[in-house]
Amino acid sequence: MPRRIALNASILRAPRTGIGQYLTELAKELTKQDDLQLQFFNGWNWSEQLPDAPMPGYSRWSSLIKRWVPGAYPLRRALEQQRFSQGIGKQPGCLYHDPNLWPFEFDGPMVMTLHDLTHVHHPQTQPADRLAEIERHTAKAVQRARRVLVDSEFIAAEVAKYYAVAKDKLVVAPLGCSERFQPRAAEDLHEPLQPFGLVPGQYLLCVGTLEPRKNLQLSLSAHQRLPESLRRQYPLVIVGMAGWLPESYSQQLQQALAAGFARVLGYQPDALLAQIVSGARLLIFPSLYEGFGLPVLEAMSSGVPVVLSRRASLPEVAGGAGSYVDVDDEMACAEVITQLLEDQQLWQAKRSAGLARAQQFSWQRCAAVTADVYRQVMVS
């Protein structure tokens, strides 16, 4: 008889970013396990199928509710908990897996995935009411979970220390990369890139929500230090959710935009994002903190060399394929970028190293580790 697994998929109501991609790709692989039967909770109802698209207008309506409804987070949480409990009560003997920071209350076996401790190190990236909910729920959930899945050894060590969790309760399941991230011929990219005014191989790329943790300021400052000929040939293209921009570099970004040295494309759908990544000459990713760093793996899988910081989990992902810079050294970052742009042999070596490194990660492996955790928990 198949093991019944209840997965919280409510995050897929919103446009898919890192955790949404994780859940989508993981679920796709888990459905191939013959001994598992998956049920997905979308925040209101249960289904045997994952939502295939975000809820229309979710971001707009969510923003309006937060602004005008007092206590929106705890109120929504209470309503979702009620619906969750009603549905899971009809699935006796199941295991519950939550891919997010605060699992619902549940009397049976529970597994959670803790991708990072951004709420601890960078609490300013969270709205105050949401941060309060995180702090209220996460510590208790980590203790309540039978196993805690993490994306990297770095995060495993952080969780063990911060939450005083026994190391044998933590399981590292490195992320994978969708097959849509792959090297592509320039002729296949001209049409999708043309609306953005981009030429394959003729731009530098930053991917991620526009927030201070991503250290966009270093990318902008390093790009500004490049010779003007390189800046014009290789504009800095920024892709990601709006997030929030501090005054310290929003002005810098506006100046680069006005001069034609930078372009902000905003959030892009999955298929188009993969084409934009594949067309980049380099990915610039000097993040201050990451639990994994999925854009790094996606770029390497696409044959795009990566300039990144030696922070947190990033060296675990890029290994020797990455070109590392200090998070506050704009001059050194500019020098590394210039080298990779002007030295074709070096660029090709980093490209080949990245493609080889990316082969070590897969969603099949992530799902296999996760499924083994399910089996262990359900027989313990």
> Interior CA angle at 337 toward 335 and 340, to 5°?
110
How large is the C-alpha radius of gyration of the chain? 21
Return the pLDDT at 61. Answer: 57
pLDDT 10s digits, 39-75: 999 988 999 988 776 666 555 656 656 666 666 777 8
Residue 190 and residue 196: Cα distance in Å, rounded?
A: 10
- In eight-state DSSP terms, residue 2 is P
Structure tokens at 82: 């009620």
Give all domains of the chain, ordered by start, each with its CATH number.
3-176+362-379 (3.40.50.2000), 186-358 (3.40.50.2000)
pLDDT band at 212 (very low <50, low <70, confident <90, very high): confident
Confirm if 103 and 96 have CB atoms less than 8 A apart.
Answer: yes
Residue 163 and residue 117: Cα distance in Å, rounded? 11
- pLDDT tens digits along 184-196: 999 999 999 999 9
pTM: 0.92
Q: What's the start-to-end Cα distance of the chain, in Å?
A: 17
Residue 366 is inside which H or E element, if any?
helix 363-379
Q: Kindly give the residue spans of alpha helices, DSSP state H, lying in 194-306.
A: 216-225, 228-233, 247-259, 270-279, 294-301
What pLDDT is stored for residue 259 in this prediction?
A: 86
pLDDT at 54: 65
Give the pLDDT confidence of 322-367 residue by residue, as tens digits: 999 999 999 999 999 999 999 999 999 999 999 999 999 999 999 9
Q: Where are the beta strands (DSSP E) in 90-203?
A: 95-98, 110-113, 147-150, 170-172
For the sheet with 236-239, list strands across it. 262-266, 236-239, 204-207, 282-285, 306-309, 323-325
CA 306/CA 287 separation, integer angstroms: 12
Q: Cβ neighbours of residue 186 under 8 Å, at least 6 residues apart?
A: 200, 201, 279
pLDDT band for 243, please (50, 70, 90 cuts): low
Q: Report the pLDDT averaged over residues 2-17.
A: 87
- Percent pLDDT > 70 in the chain is 92
Q: What is the mean pLDDT of the chain?
A: 91
Please give the single-letter amino acid code of residue 286: P
Q: How many CA atoms, within 13 angstroms, populate the side-chain half-sphere of residue 91?
A: 26
Q: Which residues contact 209 (CB under 8 A, 6 or more apart)?
A: 17, 240, 241, 242, 243
CA distance 275 to 198: 11
174 pLDDT more than 60: yes
pLDDT tens for each residue of 124-142:
777 777 788 788 889 999 9
Q: Is 339 exposed, middle or buried (0-12, 13-18, 19+ CB in 10 A)?
A: middle
Measured distance CA(278)–CA(204) in Å, rounded: 11
